Amino acid sequence: MKRRDFVAGLTSLAGVTACTTEAPVSGGSQGLQESRFEWNLVTAWPAGLPGLGVGVERLAERIEKSSNGRLKIKVFAGGELVPALEVLDAVSRGTVQMGHDSAYYHRGKVPAAQYFTTVPFGQTVHEINAWMYYGGGLQLWRELYKPFNVIPFPAGNTGMQMAGWFNKEINSANDLKGLKMRIPGLGGEVMQRAGVSQITVPASEIFTALQTGTIDAAEWVGPYNDIALGLNKVARYYYYPGWHEIGPMVQCTINREAWDSLPPDLQEIVSVNCQAINLDMMADYTAGNARALEQITLDPTVEVRRLPDEVLALLKELSEQVIEELAVTDDWAARIKKSFDEFQRISAPYQNISELAALQAREV
């Protein structure tokens, strides 16, 4: 994201300045007059989308309730106020006070931001939360975004995703060549190197693109969201695992001037509720994906399949190349990669003898 592009929009404060009024707030020990704020929040998600769309609505509701109505946030779905893939731009320029989307949507402008969604064969939801809150990840993220007038917060995670929907079988690495696939982020670059034509379209356009043959395959999230978009009606083969998005985090971004306008207690209310929705969304996805997968497996028109080991091995090899090259060409990516990799290095042995071992034992 070019710094000048962000700064250019900051001269207009109409969007970033919170609407404030002086009014008594009930429950105050001394009946003090306190400012009230009305903010706008734009998202990249279709209205009412399970998990992501509903989660951000819950975030706004919880902030309003826990602030006793002092901070009201109006949520706009992707495309209602700004294009779905331009959320971070709008927050940075002060067009709106808040945004909710994925950091890797902005890889063309902030390459290192991809680490704050996910990287291929990277961290699980438990690991990325630990790295964020207790491993230095959040500090690096905020330092990365500081020149762009934006403060980021972890505000959701979909958990382990699926490899995607395909209209042809994938039996070998050769079957990837020539495919047109909707897949963003570093995963999209990896697929390009495997011979796939990578295409980025917002969620609202995936169904039509698959139906019309504009694309041959698409990854979105997982069963919970995928059937909400109807992808099971326009593609036959549903592949796993989601090698490209093992624990993808969602970001809430706040314009710095808007943040600074809040008193400390409202800042804490926003921060705590972002952390709460980070947990809540993952719980929602765990339950929703389980129910949705059961529905998909009962559908005779859909086949749930595992990607062949040959394909996964190739994708891992290409992923390592892409990630290393990013670190060579971008100083910020190199710095973040060092922290990310070191945390994953010390985390993996414990995951192997805890989560992984327990899941394997459960199936014995």
**In whole angstroms, what is the distance from residue 48 CA to residue 58 CA?**
11
CB-based contact 129:278 (threshold 8 Å): yes
**Confidence at residue 200, expressed as pLDDT on a 0 to 100 scale:** 81
CATH number at residue 91: 3.40.190.170
**Confidence at residue 36, expressed as pLDDT on a 0 to 100 scale:** 96
For residues 99 and 195, state if they share a domain: no
Is 171 within a domain?
A: yes
pLDDT tens, 155-190? 999 999 999 999 999 999 999 999 999 998 899 999
**In whole angstroms, what is the distance from residue 158 CA to residue 278 CA?**
9
Q: Residue 283: what residue type? A: A
- Give the contacts of 128 (CB within 8 A, at least 6 positions apart): 118, 122, 137, 157, 247, 249
**In whole angstroms, what is the distance from residue 101 CA to residue 53 CA?**
10
For residues 25 and 145, state if they share a domain: yes
Question: Could you count the other beta carbons within 10 Å of the beta carbon of residue 117?
Answer: 25
Q: How many domains does the chain have?
A: 2
98 beta partners:
41, 254
For residues 40 and 171, state if they share a domain: no
Is 233 within a domain?
A: yes
For residues 116 and 260, state if they share a domain: yes
With cut-offs at 50, 70 and 90, classify the pLDDT of residue 26: very low
Tokens 């826990």, residue located? 66
**Confidence at residue 14, expressed as pLDDT on a 0 to 100 scale:** 39
Is 353 within a domain?
A: no
**Confidence at residue 203, expressed as pLDDT on a 0 to 100 scale:** 84
For residues 309 and 206, state if they share a domain: yes
With cut-offs at 50, 70 and 90, classify the pLDDT of residue 13: very low
For residues 98 and 190, state if they share a domain: no
Report the mean per-residue pLDDT for the chain: 91
Section 291-317 average pLDDT: 97
For residues 232 and 98, state if they share a domain: no
User: Three-state DSSP class for 39?
Assistant: strand
CATH number at residue 179: 3.40.190.10
**In whole angstroms, what is the distance from residue 115 CA to residue 127 CA?**
13
Host domain of residue 27 = 13-155+247-287
pLDDT tens, 44-99? 999 999 999 999 999 999 999 999 999 999 999 999 999 999 999 999 999 999 99
CB-based contact 266:68 (threshold 8 Å): no
**Confidence at residue 283, expressed as pLDDT on a 0 to 100 scale:** 97
HSE-up (13 A, CA, CB side) for residue 272? 12
